Amino acid sequence: MHKGIAVSPGVVVGVAFRVDSVFGTGDPQPLATPGLVPAELERFERAIATSMTELDAIVIKVGQQLGAAEAEIFKTHLQIVNDQAMQAKVRALVESKSLTALSALQIVLQGYAASFARIEQDYLRERLADLRDVFSRIGSHLTVQTTTVAPSLGHDPKEGEEPIILVATEILPSQAMSLGSLPIAGIVTEAGGGTSHAAILARSRGIPAVSGVVGITAEVRSGDTIIVDGREGVVLVRPTNDETSAYRKLQREFFDLKDRLVLNRDQPAVSADGAQIELLANINNVADAQAARKVGATGVGLFRTEYLFLSHPDVPDEEEQYQHYRQVIEDSPNRVVTIRTLDLGGDKTVAYLGRRNEANPFMGWRSIRLSFEHPRLFERQIRAILRAGRHGKVSMLFPMITTLEELRHVNQLVEESRRNLRREGVPFGDDVKTGVMIEVPAAAICIDAILRETDFISVGSNDLIQYLVAADRDNPKVAHLCDPLSPAIFRVLKMVFDACQRTGTPVTVCGEMAGQPRAVLTLFGLGLRRFSMSPAFVPTIKALLGSVTIAQAERFAHQVLQLKTNEEIRAYLTARLHEVSSALEVFDSS
């Protein structure tokens, strides 16, 4: 039994599939027969040629979109792809050991990584990131593209076969996008916490997940039976028959309840005493928008646009962004969508915006700060969102605003974009509202000043919590400090909600708190009426709020504000959740 961080509730028994952070299976894969070596070398040559063609086009496009300095990055990538020594090493491994080109490429990368680790100069060590980018690009062309899971996961699932549970060191943003369409039943990772990409992927799919399980990839082999308990943060590898039987019973109960709850999708979201509530969805792409509609969300409260950039082969231009946003809007519930501008940086990077060696990237060059440094890119995104605003009820949300000066600057950029579009005769949405994401404590403290110059507020509780407690939420050593059930976060949220109520400003919580039953009881009692969460949680939160009255929730919130410790709040809200709806306790991780 291994203990980790419970990041997505539920229980599943399945077959482990170990995934490497870049190339797929962690073990080198031999070819079926040595006679396939010539064909495999041809596949490698095609992957090299395709990568070079792509990079040639990217150099031109990035130069036009962002500038010559940014294009230089991809000229370096071209040199790496064309490196004859690298290519020779891959070919030699394929020929001498009859390995797949993908496995050979992985081994060569590991060799480079070991060499770079011995280099003292930070600048040269940072070039390893470029190598990884290039090798991933070549590797992507060696991977068979298919809509079925079998070739992607390396075997052919048969009828009645156990569900697949991914086990990985971590899941990168680009992987989160590509894994989104596969029938995965659970996720276990060594790195990351409650707001990692693995956690976001798991919650959007409504599947159990545990992160921060140190050493799990070394112990698990693909094909092992594995149990994931996303309520308690427990992972069992090669369990006994008794353990398997007990958890299978819990798994059936969990998924039966989930299936019953989805039946409430056509019912209005109201409290037990009839108060109207808005339940919105957090999405990354069109598939998530469609899922939000299926579960009964009334709109999209947070569309994370950075995943378009992370999964794009180069930099998406204005027209590409417009078409993508339009498609998302048209597939979203009631065509109600709040589109967040780029929130890149930290653990989400793209090569063409450069990399910096930062001691603490989550508190550095990221999000709106990065957008300000690339004004042409930012302007194109603003224009694309305004143009897409014609196709629904669209709002534009700016992340990580810290000061009133920043807010005034983005408001000015939006007005300039509107004037330019009008002058050019390009149709756009006249009624696109603009809002501020409250993630930085400084913005929460100065909320009264911010409310005078914005249309709405959206609270990003994930970042707000980690900045309040000065702890990296994805670092297993300190992730326990990023607890949403804490006196500090509830007091700050009360201050924000009260200010919004005084001014009549709409406010939404779009962080993970909005999908956690115990936290929701308190948020509702503090006056929140707009919640945005992973689509899979909408039926649960609708059922929960339908079981509580305003008076009950206000009493809960009042008591929570009197408590002094996280443990006291957790115990109190656990008892209240059991009192209101004990059946829903399974949907709240410990």
Q: What is the CATH number of the domain that holds 535?
A: 3.20.20.60
54 vs 51, 74, 152, CA distance in Å?
Answer: 5, 10, 23
For residues 6 and 137, membership in a common domain is answered with no
CATH number at residue 199: 3.50.30.10
403 three-class SS? coil
Weakest-pLDDT range from 179-193, 427-441, 501-515, 545-559: 179-193
Catalytic annotation, pick one of 77, 141, 482, 510: 510
Give the mean pLDDT of 13-30.
68
Residues ≥6 apart with Cβ < 8 Å to 538: 265, 279, 281, 292, 295, 296, 297
For residues 386 and 459, membership in a common domain is answered with yes
22 vs 172, 186, 213, 375, CA distance in Å?
Answer: 8, 19, 19, 31
For residues 453 and 356, membership in a common domain is answered with yes
Domain extent for 223? 2-23+154-259
Is the pLDDT assigned to residue 495 strictly greater than 90? yes
165 three-class SS? strand
Which residue, of 203, 224, 259, is where some domain finishes? 259
Please, what is the end-to-end C-alpha distance for the chain in angstroms?
Answer: 17
Residue 255 CB neighbours (<10 A): 15
For residues 438 and 583, membership in a common domain is answered with yes
Work out the percent of the chain whose per-residue pLDDT is above 90. 52
Q: For the chain, give the longest Cα–Cα distance.
A: 75
Number of domains in the chain: 3
Q: 166 or 566, which is more confident?
A: 566
Which residue, of 80, 109, 142, is where some domain finishes? 142
Q: Which two tokens stand for residue 545?
A: 């709020």
Let me know if residue 264 belongs to a domain. no
Q: 155 or 273, which is more confident?
A: 273
For residues 370 and 451, membership in a common domain is answered with yes
Catalytic annotation, pick one of 141, 197, 324, 374: 197
User: What pLDDT score was predicted for residue 126?
Assistant: 58
Say what the pTM is: 0.78
User: Is residue 321 within a helix (H) or strand (E), and if so which, with residue range?
Assistant: helix 318-331
Residue 312 annotated to the active site: no
Which residue, of 224, 259, 294, is where some domain finishes? 259
Let me know if residue 184 belongs to a domain. yes
Is the pLDDT assigned to residue 153 strictly greater than 70? no
Give the mean pLDDT of 314-326.
94
Strand partners, 363: none
CATH number at residue 72: 1.10.274.10
For residues 540 and 478, membership in a common domain is answered with yes
Give the mean pLDDT of 372-376.
90
For residues 301 and 351, membership in a common domain is answered with yes
Let me know if residue 266 belongs to a domain. no
Q: 547 or 70, which is more confident?
A: 547
User: What pLDDT score was predicted for residue 198?
Assistant: 72
For residues 128 and 186, membership in a common domain is answered with no
Strand partners, 532: 280
d(CA 306, CA 67): 20
User: pLDDT tens, 391-415?
Assistant: 999 999 999 999 999 999 999 999 9
Is the pLDDT assigned to residue 219 strictly greater than 60? yes
Q: 61 or 379, which is more confident?
A: 379
User: What pLDDT score was predicted for residue 352?
Assistant: 67
User: What pLDDT score was predicted for residue 176?
Assistant: 60
User: What pLDDT score was predicted for residue 175?
Assistant: 59
Query: Which of 299-313, 318-332, 363-377 holds the top average pLDDT?
Result: 318-332
d(CA 452, CA 449): 6
d(CA 307, CA 290): 16
User: Is residue 337 within a helix (H) or strand (E), and if so which, with residue range?
Assistant: strand 336-340
User: pLDDT tens, 99-136?
Assistant: 888 888 888 888 887 787 676 655 555 567 678 778 87
Is the pLDDT assigned to residue 558 strictly greater than 90? yes
Question: Across the chain, how many H-helices and E-strands are there?
Answer: 24, 16
Residue 141 annotated to the active site: no
Let me know if residue 326 belongs to a domain. yes
Helices 538-545/566-581 angle, 10° precision: 80
Edge-to-edge, what's the strand order for the sheet holding 2-3? Answer: 2-3, 234-237, 225-229, 11-19, 164-168, 184-189, 209-211, 5-8
Give the mean pLDDT of 516-524.
96
Let me know if residue 38 belongs to a domain. yes
For residues 367 and 303, membership in a common domain is answered with yes
Write out the DSSP string of 440-474. Answer: SHHHHHTHHHHHTT-SEEEE-HHHHHHHHHT--TT
Is the pLDDT assigned to residue 28 strictly greater than 80? no
User: What pLDDT score was predicted for residue 330?
Assistant: 98
User: What pLDDT score was predicted for residue 62?
Assistant: 76
User: What pLDDT score was predicted for residue 152?
Assistant: 38
For residues 338 and 194, membership in a common domain is answered with no
For residues 117 and 194, membership in a common domain is answered with no
Weakest-pLDDT range from 85-89, 110-114, 172-176: 172-176
Let me know if residue 167 belongs to a domain. yes
Let me know if residue 40 belongs to a domain. yes
Let me know if residue 158 belongs to a domain. yes
| Confidence at 423, pLDDT banded by 50, 70, 90 | very high
For residues 382 and 495, membership in a common domain is answered with yes
